[in-house]
Every structure is written in C-alpha cells, then in structure tokens.
Structure 1
Amino acid sequence: MRPFLHVGGRDYLRCEACEATFLHPAQRPAADAECAEYRLHRNDPEDPGYRRFLARLVDPLRIRLAPAAQGLDYGCGPGPALAAMLREAGHPMRVWDPFFAPDPDALARRYDFVTCTEVVEHFHAPAAEFARLDGLLRPGGWLGITTCLQTEDARFAAWHYRRDPTHVVFYRAATFRVIAARFGWRCELPAKDVVLLHKPAPPAAAAPCLSPPNPDRESPCATKPSSTTSPTASPRSA
C-alpha cells in the first residue's frame, strides 16, 4: 500500500497488488454517521428509474441462473428493491444489511447467488467481506456486483463517486480479476460498472464401480502369464 492522493482533506492509498484505492482507515466514517447517510437514500422499489438502474445487474444475472435459484441481497439498505425484482422473477430471496436487516440467520445459509448493488465501495475490510461472500455462495453460484469502476487517476479528485462520505474503497476492473483469482472465481464484466463473479462447482467425482466382487473372476488389473510360461510357475523358476 502506498500513498496515492491527498484531496479535499482526505488521504487515499493505492494497493499495488490489486490497484484498488482506499480512503485512509483513520478517515472512515463512524457507524452512526454512515447509517445517517444511508437513510438519505431514496431507493423506492416502485420507482421506474431506480428499477432501470438495478436492471443493469438483474438482466445479465437472471440469464445465468437456474429457475427458482435462491439468492441473498447482501447490503440491501433501507429499501430492498433488488430483492423485490428478483422475487418477481421467481427467485426466493433473503436480505441482509448491518444497519437495516441484521438477520444472523441470513448469514448462516448458502445461496445460489448473492447480490451487492452499490455495496462493495462501503467495505471497511474488503478482504474479510469477500471471504464471507465466498462462504455464502454454493459451488456453482454467482456473485453480482454493481459499483462505479475507477478508470483514469487524473479524474479521481473531481470524481463524484469519491465525494460520497461513505465510499471508502474504489475498484478497477483489474481489482476484480485479482479478487477472482484469489478465490478461484471466474470474472465477467457484462456491462458498465457491473461485475459477475462465478464460483465454479467442483469437478464430478468418477462413478464408483457398482459390481460386487467375484472371487472366481480374474481382476482386470492382474498380470496375465505369457504364452511361454506355465501359469503355476514361480517368476524365479525360469
């Protein structure tokens, strides 16, 4: 981690391994200030504009899901509109949020997919959070993310996304490829600021032999005697 930029009274650090940019830990908002900021959000499930915004993730995710796949909206906020849209599409959904839906039972299960819409930029401990998300996914599951991806460093100081006081980590496309490699996921970027991470299912085990053993039948692995050697001869008798 190296110093990256000081702007607006804030200090930002850059991870040289994954290219993410972090707000200095000492400058992160306290939990009460963070929650107060979230309460200002107007995430109405019935708002057509907001539903179009969420459809950027819902549409590419749905075509990758099995019918009735079970999902978790992680960091759902005060208005879990995404969960409502996915329920309408036939997917049983649970929600979890540290402030608005702190249901421990939701984190004690595993899911076919997990969604994080405008959530990962709030992670104070991204490594631990992504490890938790990996644990919430069943093998073969999908993690769907929306977040504004950082591109040019020259634009960072004036970037609107940086100025949100609750945004403490900023990702590049390369960052998600590093995260995917860390967990053995496959990374796809189907649309602007949309990331899909696939946790592969383990390879199928070889089918066991179901035939009962037959002591009178020669093992296929047995060494057959040559035509010039007596079947009863010792290997050392020649």
Structure 2
Amino acid sequence: MDWGKKGMIACPICECQTTIPWVHPKRKTVYHQCHQCEAIFMDPKEYPSKEIELKKYLEHENDITNEGYVNFLENFIDAAVHPYLQSGSILDFGSGPNPVLSVLLKRRGYHVAIYDPFFHRDMDISLKYDMITATEVIEHFHNPIVSFKEMIDMLKPEGYLSIMTLFHHNDMDHFKDWFYQRDPTHVIFYRPKTLSFIADKLELILIEHNDYRYAVFQKRTKWGALWIKWL
C-alpha cells in the first residue's frame, strides 16, 4: 500500500499537521489519515457538492414501513438512548427526509424535535435538550468540530449526545474495499480514539462506545470541566 509522503493538510479533529495522504486505487479519491487521533478524512478538494449530497440522500429508502431499518434503529435506542435517558426531550439531529427515529422515540414516550439541514431546517436554537441523537450523520460532517459544537450547544448541562456511525478498522487495505467509504457523501471516518479527542476538545465525556457503531457522550458541567482541567 503506497502511503505517499507526509501531507500538510491539518487534521480537522486534532489539527495534527503530519497527516498522511492515501489515494484510492480505483476511484483515485484522496484521503488523509491522522496517526494522532486516527481519523481518516477525504481531501477537502473532493468534498461533494450540496447537489450531490441531496441527490444521494433522496435515494435512501429509509421509512417506517422498512422493517429492517426500524429494527436497526430500535437496536440503537436500546443500546445508546434508553440506558441513559428513560424520559425527557430529544433532538434528532440530521433526521433525513423520513424521520423514522423520531417516530420510534415518540412511541416510547420521549418528547422529540427534529432537525436536518436539507429537509427540516426550522429549529429554535434557544431550546436545550436532554439528549441529541445523530444516527448515520457524523460521517457527513465537512467541519466536524464546528458541527459537534453546534450539537453540544443545544444540550442541557449533563445532557447526552448519542451517535451512530461505523468505526473504521485502522487498516487501509480493509478501507479500500470497505462499503462505508464508497458513499461519496461520507467524508470522515472515526475510531474511538478520534471521539476521545473530540470529547477532550469540546468538554464532553465519552462514557461508552462499542468499538463498532455506537458511542455516547455526556456534556460536562462548568464545574466538572474546571475540576478535570485542575487535575
């Protein structure tokens, strides 16, 4: 596997300057791997346009009648929502054109709002939530720290951020044939270590991950953040 020379594109997560470029052998798409936080991200020059993103999102057949998709989301709720929040307010961030997760959460008694930059843009940013969910969302972030901060700012103190994505294997031989990177709108891929860097940078606590698909953060209180810094 030809890694090429060390690149000078800073990692969008940890700002490491010595990311390593890698060119996909078939598509010739350029990615960069950060050995500090283990993020893999598409070269910003190759990010998809808004038009390409919208077209791809409209191809998804994820609705409430899709039993497999519903079961997929129910598993997420069981693993990354209900153990941390049994009742309260949830924002489904990046809900997509068919906000199935919000329907399932409402069935369980949660108060749910939705937001999506393409399909559900009306949102009162002054409201704060007990939990924010982002399922199959964070891999689309062109500016991940900015987007994570946007979510965190809408959490109540000690609120939860529950995310679902797929963690890469930290193996570029696996990555080149991995189905998840074939989606042109997937521009950044994470490892648990990447999420730990995000947590440290944005005053979150990474309280759980399954090293595969789910992770849960908790927002630090002001005094909790000061205590950790003092330590």
CA distance in 2, matches of 1:115, 1:74: 6
Q: Is the 8 A contact 1:190 1:196 kept in 2?
A: no
After superposition, give the CA deviation of every residue in 1:163-199 in whole Å (9 maximum; x if it has no partner).
1011000111111111112222221114731111111
TM-score, length-normalised on structure 1? 0.80
After superposition, give the CA deviation of every residue in 1:53-104 in whole Å (9 maximum; x if it has no partner).
112321121121142x101000000110111111111101010001010113
Indicate the structure (1 or 2) with the bigger Cα radius of gyration.
1
Q: Which amino acid aligns with 1:4?
A: P
Aligned with 1:123 (options 141, 151, 169):
141
Map of 1:171-190 to 2, 5 A cutoff? 171-187=190-206, 188-190=208-210
CA distance in 1, matches of 2:44, 2:198: 21
Q: Is the 8 A contact 2:20 2:34 kept in 1?
A: no
Q: Is the 8 A contact 2:167 2:189 kept in 1?
A: yes
Map of 1:22-101 to 2, 5 A cutoff? 22-60=41-79, 61-67=81-87, 69-101=88-120
Aligned with 1:154 (options 166, 173, 185):
173
Q: Is the 8 A contact 2:106 2:112 kept in 1?
A: yes
SS at structure 2 position matched to 1:94: strand
Match of residue 134 from structure 1: 152
Task: Indicate whether 1:109 and 2:137 are aligned.
Answer: no
CA distance in 2, matches of 1:87, 1:34: 28
After superposition, give the CA deviation of every residue in 1:125-171 in whole Å (9 maximum; x if it has no partner).
00100111110111111111110101123211111111101100011
Task: Indicate whether 1:197 and 2:214 are aligned.
Answer: no
Aligned with 1:13 (options 32, 44, 61):
32
Match of residue 166 from structure 1: 185
Q: Is the 8 A contact 1:15 1:21 kept in 2?
A: yes
Q: Which amino acid aligns with 2:68?
A: G
SS at structure 2 position matched to 1:166: coil
When the two structures are aligned, how many residues end up with a matched partner?
202
CA distance in 2, matches of 1:47, 1:147: 19
CA distance in 1, matches of 2:143, 2:35: 17
Match of residue 14 from structure 2: none
After superposition, give the CA deviation of every residue in 1:178-224 in whole Å (9 maximum; x if it has no partner).
111222222111473111111134559xxxxxxxxxxxxxxxxxxxx
Shift of 1:19: 1.4
Q: Is the 8 A contact 2:191 2:211 kept in 1?
A: no
CA distance in 1, matches of 2:175, 2:29: 12
CA distance in 2, matches of 1:108, 1:170: 30
TM-score, length-normalised on structure 2? 0.82
